[in-house]
Amino acid sequence: MSIALEPLAAGQRMNRAEFHDRYEAMPPGTTFELIGGVVFMASPLGRSHGRSSILVSTWLGTYSFSTPGVAAYDNASAALRHFAADRAGIWWAVA
């Protein structure tokens, strides 16, 4: 028997472990972020964001492909601290 988790809501306060458990139980396509221990619901994105995003993705993808030890990521979560689980659009890291 599984226990139903309370849905995430903007403004709730919690730690990263609780956030991830509840985030995994949310319906597909629902996007939340945990910043400073506070839950935020991501806003829908427009065409101008999509245009900028593809240009930055291409640039970082090309850079990471050409630079050993660097990895690029798109639409991936980054657990930076125990109270944050930020979902960056595009980012890179030294591998």
pLDDT in tens, 29-63: 788 888 888 999 877 778 887 888 888 889 988 99
Greater confidence (91 vs 67) lies with 67
pLDDT on residue 39:
92
The amino acid sitting at 31 is T
Residue 31 lies in a domain: yes
Residue 1 resides in a domain: no
pLDDT of residue 88: 58
Predicted confidence at residue 92, as pLDDT, reads 66
Q: How many domains does the chain have?
A: 1
Within a domain: 49: yes
Q: How far apart are CA 56 and CA 31, in angstroms?
A: 21
d(CA 86, CA 36): 9
How far apart (Å, rounded) are the C-alpha atoms in residues 10 and 1?
Answer: 28
Residue-by-residue DSSP string for 4-64: PPPPP-TT-B--HHHHHHHHHTSPTT--EEEETTEEEEPPP--HHHHHHHHHHHHHHHHHH
Provide the domain limits for residue 52.
Answer: 16-94
Contact residues for 91 (Cβ-Cβ < 8 A; gap 6+): 60, 72, 73, 76, 78
The answer to pTM > 0.85 is no
Query: Is 11 within the bounds of a domain?
Result: no
- Does residue 2 belong to any structural domain of this protein? no
